[in-house]
């Protein structure tokens, strides 16, 4: 089992005793699945020491009820981390992570306003703030993030570059079920019928259809899509299936199927933002 470390002070003194050994870090909110474990395995292969964190970060949830509902599965998580060869589990509580009561924040003004940011105001500020804190505490050489949360990955890379943080951000491909569904802790909340329908999201994103056509097909299939959009060389979407919000993204065809020759978006489809579809 990984050694549990509960406070930043405890980890900092431990980190000193590990001087000269490379540390790979996998930040998570727990309720782990194969996607997280894949990140841990990659970290295991590339570093002397592997640290994972489990911290359900209150500041990145839009609704207090979602924060409360988030599944806490510490005992099962510890076993999965042990199986992936993780050495340490950093498992702080909110008072140790937010001694300032969230009066200090890290924000971004461009990417963080789009797509996920438009539908989840404040989410990326909460996420960037906690990732900054975690990276500062852990002092890893490398930190591992999945491409499933593509905007998160872009923002973390941008923050690290802009603030000259001494850590390399490693992007890892999305792990999918055999039917194509991107693995996510939220999938556990889908009913059996929704689970059967959910892979359609990835299937349509990978199709040659336009963003607007994908949006329409999702609606016809009973999803409530928020956006389907092509940018940053990816095609990205968010859609509700019942009360579960799914997100996914895939490489865009020709690096940006919905971009014209000038690189401008010629097809952006947002439910609430532009009302198309």
Binder among 84, 127, 137, 159 for ligand PAF (CB under 6 A): 127
Binder among 5, 130, 155, 236 for ligand PAF (CB under 6 A): 130
End-to-end Cα separation, the chain, in angstroms: 49
Indicate if the alpha-carbon torsion angle 252, 257, 258, 264 is positive or negative. Answer: positive
Whether 36 is a known active-site residue: answer yes
Min separation Cβ 202 and ligand PAF, Å: 19
> Within 48-77, which residues bind ligand PAF (CB under 6 A)?
57, 60
Min separation Cβ 17 and ligand PAF, Å: 25
**Residue 211 DSSP SS3:** helix
> Within 142-171, which residues bind ligand PAF (CB under 6 A)?
149, 152
Tell whether residue 27 is a contact of ligand PAF (CB under 6 A).
yes
Tell whether residue 28 is a contact of ligand PAF (CB under 6 A).
yes
CA distances (Å), 77 to each of 41, 93, 147, in order?
14, 17, 21
Tell whether residue 24 is a contact of ligand PAF (CB under 6 A).
no
Min separation Cβ 195 and ligand PAF, Å: 21
Q: Where does this chain touch ligand PAF (CB under 6 A) — which range of 87-95, 123-131, 135-143, 260-268? A: 123-131
Give the separation between CA 273 and CA 277, rounded to whole angstroms: 11
Extract the tokens encoding 75. 């005992």
Q: Catalytic one among 33, 36, 123, 270?
A: 36
Residues across the chain: 277
Cβ-contact 137, 25 below 8 angstroms: no
Tell whether residue 129 is a contact of ligand PAF (CB under 6 A).
no
Cβ-contact 232, 154 below 8 angstroms: yes
Which DSSP helix (H) or strand (E) runs through 158? helix 150-162
Catalytic residue numbers?
A: 36
Positions touching ligand PAF (CB under 6 A) are: 27-29, 57, 60, 127, 130-131, 149, 152
């Amino acid at each position: 089992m990984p050694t549990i470390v509960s406070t930043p002070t405890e980890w900092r003194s431990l980190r000193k005793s590990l001087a000269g050994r490379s540390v790979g870090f996998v930040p998570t909110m727990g309720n782990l699945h194969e996607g997280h474990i894949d990140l841990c395995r990659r970290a295991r292969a590339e570093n002397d020491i592997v640290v994972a964190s489990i911290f359900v970060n209150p500041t990145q949830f839009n609704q207090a009820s979602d924060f409360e509902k988030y599944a806490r599965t510490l005992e099962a998580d510890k076993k999965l981390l042990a199986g992936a060869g993780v050495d340490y589990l950093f498992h702080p509580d909110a008072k140790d992570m937010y001694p300032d009561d969230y009066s200090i924040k890290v924000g971004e003004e461009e990417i963080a306003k789009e797509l996920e940011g438009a539908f989840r105001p404040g989410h990326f500020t909460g996420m960037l703030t906690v990732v900054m804190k975690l990276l500062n505490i852990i002092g890893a050489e490398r930190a591992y993030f999945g491409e499933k949360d593509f905007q998160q990955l872009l923002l973390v890379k941008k923050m690290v570059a802009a603030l000259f943080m001494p850590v390399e951000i490693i992007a890892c491909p999305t792990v999918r079920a055999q039917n194509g569904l991107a693995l996510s802790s939220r999938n556990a909340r889908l009913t059996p019928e929704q689970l059967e329908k959910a892979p359609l999201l990835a299937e349509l994103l990978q199709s040659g259809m336009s963003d607007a056509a994908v949006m329409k097909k999702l609606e016809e299939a009973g999803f409530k899509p928020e956006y389907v959009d092509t940018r940053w060389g990816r095609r990205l979407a968010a859609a509700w299936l019942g009360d579960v919000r799914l997100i996914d993204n895939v490489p865009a065809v020709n690096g940006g199927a919905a971009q014209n020759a000038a690189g401008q978006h010629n097809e952006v489809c947002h439910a609430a933002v532009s009302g198309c579809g």
